[in-house]
Amino acid sequence: MARGLWRCWVAKNGVDVWTARIEIARGEWADLTQAEYEAAGHAPPFWDLPLEADYMESLRMNPIESRIIETEMKIMPGFVILMIILGGAAAALFTAYTFFNLNR
């Protein structure tokens, strides 16, 4: 059975019409008007279909990747500060070691 993918506005003969894109079979799609979609009884219901832009965005960003990016954005500022502190400490130790070894 065909399944609905998204809905969008399409201009037909100068009139905007709600249209649904359905997948008939793997790799085979068709566009139906809202009335045709509802009359055929496809799932999910027409108004539950995501808008085309939202559907395309969901394909681009899967949930695992988005969580990883969110986590990285939360952790990164603290990580940068930690690296600055550790780098400063390493530079101070290197300077102190060099200074005391040259003055022996």
Look at residues 28, 25, 21, 26 and name the one whose alpha carbon lies nearest to residue 5.
Answer: 21
In the numeric block, which tokens belong to residue 93?
């130790």
In the numeric block, which tokens belong to residue 47?
């108004």
Whether the model pTM is above 0.75: no
Kindly give the confidence (pLDDT) of every residue in the chain, 104 residues in length, as a single tens digit, with 9 standing for 90 and above. Answer: 677 888 999 888 888 899 999 998 888 889 999 999 999 988 899 999 999 988 888 777 677 777 887 888 899 999 999 999 999 999 999 998 888 887 66
